[in-house]
Structure 1
Amino acid sequence: MVAAVFYEVTAMPITPPSNYDGKFETMLDYIQAGTDVWNEVSARTKMKPSTNTGYILTRSRMLAPLPHPRSLRDFYAFEQHVKTANANRGREIPKEWYDAPVFYFGNHNAVYGHGDTIPYPRATQMLDYELEIACVIGKEGRDLKPEDAEDYIFGYMIFNDWSARDVQRQEMAVGLGPAKGKDFASSFGPHLVTPDELANKHAGRPGVYDLTMIARVNGVERSRGNWKDLHWSFGDMLARASADATLYPGDIIGSGTVGTGCLLELTKGEGPWLQPGDVVELEIERLGILRNTVGEKKD
């Protein structure tokens, strides 16, 4: 079900306009319907909902906003994270990092939502969270310019890029990866927020906003940063991703980890790491709180 959320309390199902032939069975259906449909639905959702209709969020299970994305690219766009991650290995930031934003392809079929339990990978003893922003592409585009990229973004959501650090370390020593170090789980949510909801926090660069980012483990704050600290803007990222390649509605673009946004940074790679039963909350101002529990280890 595709729904609009009101006051973080009620979810109202979204139905197609009378002059639209398609159905909104998934969020991708809605995204692909196009701008005219979005505008009409947006106008409808600005009306105050009836108190006796819709779904109460506390009594409902929320899926990931886009459970079946077309693809998942994750960038490496926060300089503080890159600097600290390299310093932990006794290295400087590679000069090539400043030449262009870089990304890897993640597993778009291992998607989890708010409230889901994240399976603990058998191969790791070093499970970590990563506090990130993700944008969802709203319309097809190729060879985009950074200054035009915001026209292609449907919305933003919180992204937890779960990471098995020991596996990642082993694979990236070969010169590839992170591969199995990250392909077991990505969680998104709780909502997919359209850019108009963030407009008065725009920081002057394409896809960059002055919004606080926080991570908590078992209720204790561990990470704090700000979206505006991106070195590479979402405009830069979309321009890079679309160079000689086509972006499609429903593609996800991740920002990479905000500075201090993972245990790898906070503990200089030594841990302690996440354990079964730990509750990880990622919060981004205006986007909500994404909460997941770490599952039990399996033999």
Structure 2
Amino acid sequence: MRIARWSTDDSVVEGVVVGDTAVAFPEGVTVAALLSGGLAQALNRQAEFESGRGVPLTSVRLLAPIVPASVRDFVAFEEHVEGVSASVDGKSEVVPEWYEAPTFYFTNPHTVRGTGVRIDVPETRRLDVELELAAVIGSVPGSLGENLDPAAAAAHIFGYTVMNDWSARDLQSREMKVRLGPAKGKDFALTLGPWIVTADELDPHLDDEGFLAIRAELHINGELIGEDLVSNMGWPFSELVAYASRNSVVVPGDVLGSGTVGNGGCLGELWGRLADAAPPPLEPGDVVRMWIEGVGEIENTVGDRVAAPRIPRARVRPRLRDRTDRHFS
């Protein structure tokens, strides 16, 4: 089942996509309610949802299929780490700590965009994208989503969507030197879409270890830039979800990105591997298309560079310990 959100005449509609038709949910049903009810409950109503009268998909504007509760983004592809490290430090390496656990960062759920949207960007000269598959969390009866083992975590995966983690690499590089972040190098935009494909649709692609053997492709201005199998992850999604819940909790509506696929899933990897032969950073007007087998495709055009109010440099202040040492005016 493909679950989507779209707009027509300035109203937001939620429902399912059946072939080339968008079918609204019955009154009272929402994407958030389906996630809270869990996958099994949603699948029990699939025939009902898909039997309604729809409108042509071409007549609506698809929105991001979910308003996330949170967004965690992992870095689960070894090949991506090899290439990006070379573009940053001039040395291709995967640090030993990468293999110990699936690392992630939290990004901004409030700047999520849908396919077809023009993406305005910061004043960056190294604009990049990241091709990812994202898991969407749903509810499981009797489970709080806390300290899950991989088997229990798998049951919390409601479905999957395509994810583009837009990246300003120059801003990101500065931030990471402070040993915190990324922050403004990432939080300006994130594309999710075109819909959520329920997990049962991808079950036939799971291998014996739980990895999804599906293809992923990145195209820029009509040219194939990178392609990979999602099964080249270092951990399957069930283990990413389990790790996210470790001494913590995952809840319905959480989104967990796989991290960038290898073999050219982003320009940063190619800058590290190919140097001057790699494609240049993105510019306004460039068109980015991402496709993942069994899920769908998203496409966005790079918009304008938007200037933001300047923040002054840190003041190097005297390190006083007592207010009486200061002079107040």
Same fold (TM over 0.5): yes
1:94 & 1:243 partners in 2: Cα distance? Answer: 22
User: How far apart, in 2, do the equivalents of 1:36 and 1:280 lie?
Assistant: 35
Contact 2:212 2:236 in 1 (8 A): no
TM superposition shift of 1:92 = 2.0
User: How high is the sequence identity, in percent, across the aligned residues?
Assistant: 42
Secondary structure of 1:74's counterpart equals strand
Consecutive unaligned residues in structure 1, runs of 5 or more: 17-22
Amino acid at match of 1:13: A
Shift of the 71–126 alpha-carbon distance from structure 1 to 2, 3 Å rule, reads same
One-letter identity of the residue aligned with 2:16: A
What residue in structure 1 maps to residue 300 of structure 2? 292
Q: Which residue of 2 aligns with 1:3?
A: 15
Q: SS state of the match for residue 296, structure 1? A: strand
Cα 1:101/1:93, change in 2 over 3 Å? same
CA contact 2:39–2:198 (8 Å) conserved in 1: no
TM-score when scaled to structure 2? 0.82
Q: How does 1:1-299 map to 2 (within 5 A)?
A: 1-7=13-19, 9-15=20-26, 23-24=28-29, 26-35=30-39, 37-45=41-49, 53-66=53-66, 68-88=67-87, 89=89, 90-122=91-123, 124-139=124-139, 140-206=144-210, 208-259=211-262, 260-268=264-272, 272-299=280-307
Residue identity opposite 1:44 in structure 2: E
Name the SS of the counterpart of 1:228 in structure 2: helix
Larger Rg, first or second structure (1 or 2)? 2
Q: Kindly provide the amino acid, as one letter, of the partner of residue 295 in structure 1.
A: G
Equivalent position SS for 2:304: coil
Structure 1 runs of 4+ aligned residues shifted over 6 Å read none
Note if contact 1:161-1:182 (Cα within 8 Å) is conserved in structure 2. Answer: yes
Structure 2: tracts of 5 or more residues without a match: 1-12, 308-329
Q: Pick closer, same or farther for the CA change 1:209–1:177 going to 2, 3 Å.
A: same
Residues 169-200 of structure 1, C-alpha deviation per residue, up to 9 Å, x if partnerless?
00101111111110000000001000111122
* Secondary structure, aligned partner of 1:267: helix
CA RMSD for the aligned pairs? 1.6
Task: Give the whole-Å Cα distance in 1 for the aligned partners of 2:71 and 2:129.
Answer: 17
- Cα distance in 2 for partners of 1:86, 1:71 equals 27
Mapped to 2, the partners of 1:156 and 1:36 lie a distance apart of: 15
SS, match of residue 61 in structure 2: coil
C-alpha distance 76-35 of structure 1, shift in aligned 2 (>3 A): closer
**Alignment size in residue pairs:** 284
> Normalized against structure 1, the TM-score is what?
0.90
What is the deviation of 1:58?
1.3
How big is the shift at 1:45? 4.5
